[in-house]
Structure 1
Amino acid sequence: MSEARVRAAFPFTALVGQAPLQRALLLAAVDPAIGGVLVSGPRGTAKSTAARALAALLPDGAFVTLPLGASEEKLIGTLDLEAALRESAVRFSPGLLARAHGGVLYVDEVNLLPDALVDALLDAAASGVNTVERDGVSHTHEARFVLVGTMNPEEGELRPQLLDRFGLTVELNNSFDVDERQRIVKARLAFDADPLAFCAAHEAAQRELAQRIAAARGALGSLELSDAVHERAARLCVQAAVDGMRADLVMLRAARALAAFEGAAQVAPEHVDEVAEAVLAHRRRVMPDQRPSSSERGEGGAPNEPGPASPETSAESLQSEANPDWGELPPEPVAARQVKGVIPLPAKKR
C-alpha cells in the first residue's frame, strides 16, 4: 500500500482562501491534457497541501513527488538492453511517470529542475503517454496524470519556452486578512489534532466532488465548441499578444472542462472568460492597461489598421531605418576646468 493511501490528506473541500487554485486544479483533473498547473507563490501558502488534497479525489489516489535531484531515468524509466538482445524481449523498469498514472505528479521548485526533466514532464502531461527509447529499443506506456508544479519567484524564473508549456498558472499571495488567517489556522489545527475525525466531517462533500470530477470527465467528449466560443478565445489571445497557438488550445480545453464540471449542456463564451486569466497570466505580452482604447479599435473591438502614412512620416521612417542615430542631437562642447590635486598632463610639443 502506497504512502498516499496510508497518510490522511487534508480534504480538498476544507481548503480556505484558495478558490483560484482549487478551480485550476479541478480543471486539470477533469482534463489532464490541459498541460498541468504551475503554482507560484511564497512559502507556506498551502501549495503542496492543495496538490495532495486533489490526489485524494481521483480514482487511483496516487500522489507522486519528483525530487530535485532526480535523474531522467528515474523520471521516465529504464530499459534493460541486455535482456532485449538476449531474450528478444523488452524489459521496462517503470519511472515516476508510470507511478503517477491516474493520480497527481507533484514537482516542488520546478524552476530549479534541469530543462531536460521539465521537457519530459510537460511532454508526458500534454500527451498522456511516455516513450522511452534506447539504442533502437523503445517502450511506450500511458502516463495520464495531473501535473502540479510549484515555484517561489524569489528563487528564479522558468525560461519562457518552458513557462508557456504549462497549461494554467495561479499566483498565490500571503493573506493579510485577519478573519481568513484565523479560519486557515483553525482548520489546520483541527486536522492535525485528529485527521480521521476531520476528514470524516468532510467525507460527504469530498464524495460529491469526486463524483462531479468523474462525471465531468465522461461528459468532455459530448461538448462541442461553437464558433462563438472559438471567436472569444481567439480574440482574448490576440489582445494578450501571445506567442503561437498553445494559449488558444489550452483556453478552449479549459473552458470545455469548466462547462463539463458545471454540468452545462454546452460550452459558452462565458466559460472562456472565466478561465482566461489562468491561461494568459504567464503568456501575456501586452498588459491589460496597454491594450488599445475603444477609440483605437475598429469594428468588433479589433485594433484599427494604420492608415496610409503621410509623405513627411514616410521620409522620416526611411531616414530612421537608413541611419539608426538619425534624430539625435549633436554633442555640445563643455568647458573644462582643472581639478585640484590632479597633475596636468604635459602639453604636446608642436
Structure 2
Amino acid sequence: MKAPFPFSAIVGQEEMKLAMVLTAIDPGIGGVLVFGDRGTGKSTAVRALAALLPPIRQVESCPVNSARLEDCPEWARLTSREIVTRPTPVVDLPLGATEDRVVGALDIERALSQGEKAFEPGLLARANRGYLYIDEVNLLEDHIVDLLLDVAQSGQNVVEREGLSIRHPARFVLVGSGNPEEGELRPQLLDRFGLSVEVGSPKDIPTRIEVIRRRDAYENDHAAFMAKWQEEDTTLRERILAARTRLSAIATPEAALHDCAELCVALGSDGLRGELTLLRTGRAFAAYHGADTLTRDHLREVAPMSLRHRLRRDPLDEAGSGARVGRVIEEVFG
C-alpha cells in the first residue's frame, strides 16, 4: 500500500492547507469544512494530513487511544499496557455506515448470560484524539448527523441498549468535504465546523500542468517522489509543533477582542461562536508565523475561513459568502 500523497506537494489550494494546519496547531478550533468541485484535492489533502501530523503517545491496546492507563475505559480489555507512539488517527466515516458502526455495538446476549459489558468500539472510538473525515458530508443521513452533533457537543460517546450503558471519550477534529451542487449541509452541523474553505479547479495552464506532473511522479516513481518531499513535510511538522508550544503564550490585546466583535456584528453572524472561533484561529495563525501578539493583520488573514459559513443569507446579495466577508473586512478594518 502506497504512503499518502505528501501534504507539502499539493499544488495550490493554499487556504485549505492553511485551515488544516491551523486545526493541527489548535484542535479546539473545531474542524474544517471543505466545499468544492470534484477532483480538486479535498480527500487527498485530508489523507496527506495523516502522514504530516505529529504522532501521539497512547496505551498500546487501548481502543480509544488513551494517553494514560488510568484514562482507559473500564470495559476495555487491555492486552498490552505499554505506552507506545503512533500516528495521529485519521478515520473515514463512510456515507452508508450504520449507527452501530459509528458509535459501537453492545453485545446484549453476552451481557445477560455472563453479566459483563461486552462492547465492540466504533469509528468514534478510533477517532478519539485524532481526526474524523466525512466525504460528501452534505449527503450524510440525518440520524448520523444528530449523533455527531451530540458527541461534538459533549466530547463523550454514550451507547445505551436495553438498560445497559457504555461511554468513552470521543474528542476529534471533524473534517468534512462535499460538492455544494449535490445538496446543502444542515445548519446545526454547519455551525459545528470551526473553519470553512472553498476550493476550485485551477484556471491557468502552468498550475494544471504541475498538478499532472506531480501526480504522475507519485504514481510512477513513488519512492523517489516521497523522498523528494519528505524534508518539506518534516519541516512543516516541526513548525506545527513549535506553534503548539508557542500558542499559550500569544498575547491578546483588548484591541484584538474589539476587532473580533466589531467584525462579527458588521457581518450579522448568529451567536458568539464566530468571535470565539476567529479569536482561536487568529492565535493559531500568529503562533504559526512566530508572532508573540495577536494583531489585526492576523485576524484579517483568517476571518474569511472563520466566518463565511456563519452568515445569514441575503437574497438581495448575489456575491458569495467569501466575497461578502472580504467586503466587510475592508469596511471594518480599512
Q: TM-score category by the smaller chain?
A: 0.7 to 0.9
Separation in 2, partners of 1:154, 1:263:
39
Q: CA deviation at 1:89?
A: 4.5
List aligned pairs for 1:122-271, cutoff 5 A.
122-125=149-152, 128-271=155-298
Please tell me whether Structure 1 or Structure 2 has the larger radius of gyration of its CA atoms.
Answer: 1
Is the 2:32–2:194 Cα contact (8 Å) retained in structure 1? yes
Deviation per residue, 1:155-199 (Å, 9 max, x gap):
111122322221111111121111111111111111111222211
Cα distance between partner residues in 2 of 1:204 and 1:293: 38
2-side partners of 1:132 and 1:220: how far apart? 35
Q: Structure 1: any 5+ residue segments left out of the alignment?
A: 1-5, 295-299, 302-350
- Tell me the residue number matched to 1:325: none
Report the Cα offset of residue 290 of structure 1: 8.3
Q: Which moved more, 1:66-75 or 1:47-56?
A: 66-75
Aligned residue in 2 for 1:27:
22
* 2:106/2:120 contact within 8 Å kept: yes
Q: CA deviation at 1:293?
A: 11
- The alignment partner of 1:225 has SS state of coil
AA at the equivalent of 1:105? L
Say if 2:304 and 2:325, in contact at 8 Å, map to a contact too. Answer: no
From the two aligned structures, give the one with the greater strand fraction.
Answer: 2
Q: Which amino acid in 1 is paired with 2:13? A: Q
Q: Give the whole-Å Cα distance in 1 for the aligned partners of 2:7 and 2:190.
A: 26
Work out whether residues 35 and 126 of structure 1, in 8 Å CA contact, stay in contact via their aligned partners in 2. no
Cα-to-partner distance string for 1:304-329 (whole Å, 9 max, x where unaligned): xxxxxxxxxxxxxxxxxxxxxxxxxx
Per-residue deviation, 1:11:
0.4
Deviation per residue, 1:28-47 (Å, 9 max, x gap)? 11222222111111111010
Task: Report if aligned partners of 2:102, 2:123 keep a CA contact under 8 Å in 1.
Answer: yes
Q: Quick one: distance in 1 between partners of 2:113 and 2:330?
A: 70
Partner of 1:53: 48
Amino acid at match of 2:288: F
Structure 2 counterpart of 1:333: none
Does the 8 A contact of 1:125 with 1:146 survive in 2?
Answer: no
**Superposition deviation, residue 202 in structure 1:** 1.0
- Partner SS for 1:45: coil
CA distance in 2, matches of 1:174, 1:293: 27
Q: Residue 300 of structure 2: which of 273, 298, 304 is its match?
A: 273
Aligned residues: 291
Aligned counterparts, 1:54-133, within 5 A: 54-58=49-53, 59=55, 60-84=87-111, 89-125=116-152, 128-133=155-160
SS in 2 for 1:69: coil
Structure 2's unaligned 5+ residue stretches are 56-86, 315-323
Q: What is the DSSP-based 3-state SS (H/G/I as helix, E as strand, rest coil) of the residue aligned with 2:52?
A: coil
C-alpha displacement of 1:150: 0.8
Question: CA 1:121/1:252 → structure 2, altered by over 3 Å: closer, same or farther?
Answer: same
Q: Given the two structures, how large is their TM-score scaled by the length of structure 2? A: 0.78
Using CA pairs under 8 Å that are at least 6 residues apart, name the structure with larger relative contact order, 1 or 2.
Answer: 2
Aligned position for 1:3: none
**Closer, same or farther: CA 88–114 of 1 in aligned 2, 3 Å:** same
Residue-by-residue CA offset, 1:236-270 (whole Å, 9 max, x unaligned)? 11111011111112111211221222232232232
State the identity as a percent.
51
* Distance of 2:196 and 2:329 partners within structure 1: 25
